[in-house]
Chain A
Amino acid sequence: MTDTGKTPYFLSERAQKLVRKRYAAERRFRFYGLAMIILALAFLAVLFYTIISQGISGFVVTNIRLPVTFTAEALGVEPGATAEDLKGVSGFKYTKLARRSLNDYLGIPKGDTEDERLSRGLLSNGVDVQLRKILVNDPTLLGSTVEVWLLAHGSVDPFVKGQISRDLPENRRLINDQQMAWLEKLEHDGRVDLRFNSNLFTEGASADPELAGVGVALLGSFFMMVLVVLLALPLGVGAALYLEEFAPKNRFTDLVEVNINNLAAVPSIVFGILGLAVFINYAHLPRSAPIVGGLVLTLMTLPTVIIATRAAIRAVPPSIKEAALGVGASKMQAVFHHVLPLAMPGILTGLIIGLAQAMGETAPLIMVGMVAAVFDFPGSPMDPATALPVQIYIWSGLPERGFVALTSAAIMILLAFLLTMNATAVILRKRFERRW
């Protein structure tokens, strides 16, 4: 520690200035990075806020509680009719019964046509299904009076939820002054309430927002995802294994590799056109069916799976394969017993990401007829169905106000599925991934 009296270079003014400059550059870079991330998060927050604030009201729906008297006479059956008889009664009679109950409650006499026509606008078109279900479940109710929660009409719902102001003048409202007065009377008597919208999960398409649901779309998406897993996993992994481990490296395999990478970037609508030409027009598979949608999505997912699998296989150290070969395993044994199991977490991650992408796809489904209003549940992948993102797309274009909330609610359901799938991919990677 001798002091020479001379300042070393690294303490000189010039060196200090350079150091400060380098630190400043680093600080600036860190700031830019952080700002980018905050900006991205802010956009995400706005997106989530708009979707959730609009969508949350789609999970509840306005119901009106009414005393309904199930008279055998009104339903046109014998007293003591069985559940089977009651099932066969036409929906029109149940609807009439519900309307009569409302009119009796509001004091609207029979035959007063204008008021009767107006009061119809308070009850949903689906009340017949509700009443039939109640009576079929318990036929002994025939002849007695029961308090029943009935769905309100879709044009009443936005007023109860406060989405449209009640102070608007009559000509700018969906329901007129008389209907509003009835609604307020029912509310005053505690007969109007927002209840859980179970139709959202159990029903298919409908022209009325209070009766529409994503049930058919969920089942259709499920069928397609199962098909994609069953086909894309073996085909994709097989192709990747062959290309990576067995195929000779020459111009032809280079060409194949370039084409696979290109396919991964082809717009999805192109796969839809292919699906229409091959699966429907040539193979005569049914239109609008999940089997065709699933096949099209498989084609779309295959390149993703192949690329992910090849990367996962390449990440397995060659020493493992060489050791297996060294103790006398055949090439196939080495690959299937040692390389593939070690590459599996990476392959599954790729598959799940491919699936999540396929699940959110609508464009290829337009061509194969799955962008459609489907009312009945599909019994098999050969029956018509639709898909979750398609349901969102269709609802977003419908005029009724109730569909605005339903659109956002369906987006929330889709996001929940996608988040679950991506989280599964992360967990798989975290738990099973091995580092060498």
Chain B
Amino acid sequence: MLKKTLIGLATIAAVGAAAPGAVYARDQIQIAGSSTVLPFATVVAEQFGKQTKHPAPVVESGGSSAGLKKFCEGVGPNYIDIADASRAIKDSEVKACHEAGVKGIIEVKFGYDGIVFASAVGHPNFKFTPKDIYLALAAEVPVNGKMVANPNKTWKDVNPAFPAQKITMYIPGEKHGTREVFEEKVLNTGCEEFDIIKKMDKDAQKKACMQIRKDGVAVDIDGDYTETLARIKSNPEGIGVFGLSFYEQNVDKIQVATVNGIKPNVETIGDGTYPVSRPLYFYVKKQHLGAIPGLKDYVTFFLSEDMIGDDGMLAEKGLIPAPEKQREQFRANWQAMKTID
């Protein structure tokens, strides 16, 4: 009896103790991050698995911030190798990385993405300027030289050239990298046209520009663009914020608005005339380069012309290829392995 009890206890102890000791080696690359970058990372990972001897990487989604947080948790096979991001890494995130022992972060830029404003097909199409969007969405707007709570109810209140359609906008939630680009390139640009805001001190200016009204006119979407599309379907007067690639896959359902008179497409975003675009990035852990097989090859494969070139596979999925000179620069930067910290 005692013997049996001892065996039972020993088994339990062995299971408990063996687990922490067993450090395993990892063959495949682990990637996490932005849902905007996910379709591109998926294409590259799939092709990398098919065309090289290495296994296909695993690509987790969840948003730029979540990806960078996982990236900065530590070094070793239990931590991810690459974080995808639709915005640049923040200083606070670099600091978090350092605290966890992650040193040597290589930033890789690989192309551009456009942010478009779209409405349901068959409803009025808009010609926006950043100022219109700012006046429609800000919590407080200047009226007769004073800041007052946003009184605008219809698009006609914002700009007399627009129809008297109720304002409803579906904008990306705080967890999306897209939100930051939206704030910086649309709201900020729009509000800087007012002298009264320009005269404010920095903090007040930021507040006036970035604070979004909370009366139900602006709706934060924390899910994917499919949710934004579903919202527009149920409320056809709404206007949604999408990535260009998502719009291109759903041209039969939604139409895009011009910004400053420019229609978003591969050409106008590629040459920078369409104002609301942003570069896409991924971040590589230098400390993992030797330890994880294929990591170096993966990045080189990602940056090849077959992927990010004008006729590459990512362009087919909606990536705006960078100009050729820049692409060469991306590759040169990667070869140089320059870290950002």
Contact = CB atoms under 8 A, between A and B. Distances in A.
Q: Decide whether A and B assemble into one complex.
A: yes
Interface of A: 90-92, 117, 125, 128-129, 164-165, 168, 171-174, 205-207, 279-288, 366, 369, 371-376, 382, 384, 394, 396-401
A285 B19 contact: yes
Contacts of B39: 207, 398-399
Given A285-B24, A376-B55, 6 more contacts: A279-B19, A369-B60, A373-B60, A375-B49, A376-B28, A400-B249
Contacts of A373: 38, 41-42, 45, 58-61
A128 B50 CA distance: 10
B252 interface: yes
Given A172-B251, A397-B223, A399-B39, A284 B80 contact: no
22 contacts: A125-B313, A172-B252, A173-B251, A174-B249, A207-B39, A280-B78, A284-B19, A285-B24, A287-B80, A288-B30, A288-B60, A369-B58, A369-B60, A371-B61, A372-B32, A372-B60, A374-B58, A384-B30, A397-B61, A398-B39, A399-B318, A401-B250
B46 to A, nearest CB: 6
Interface of B: 19-20, 22-24, 26, 28, 30, 32, 35, 38-39, 41-43, 45-46, 49-51, 55-56, 58-62, 73, 76-80, 121, 223-226, 245-246, 248-252, 311, 313, 317-318
Nearest to B317: A207
Given A91-B51, A283-B20, A376-B49, A401 B249 contact: yes
A174 B24 contact: no
A205 B78 contact: no
A207 B30 contact: no
A401 B251 CA distance: 11
Contacts of A394: 61
A235 B59 CA distance: 34
Interface residues of chain A: helix, strand, loop or mixed (majority): loop
Contacts of A399: 39, 225-226, 245-246, 249-250, 318
Given A172-B252, A288-B30, A281 B78 contact: yes
Nearest to A170: B251
Contacts of A369: 30, 32, 58, 60, 80
Contacts of A171: 251
Nearest to B60: A372
- Which residue, of B61, B121, B225, has the highest number of chain A Cβ atoms within 10 A? B61
Contacts of B226: 396-399
Given A371-B62, A398-B39, A284 B20 contact: yes
A18 B253 CA distance: 62
A372 B29 CA distance: 12
A319 B51 CA distance: 69
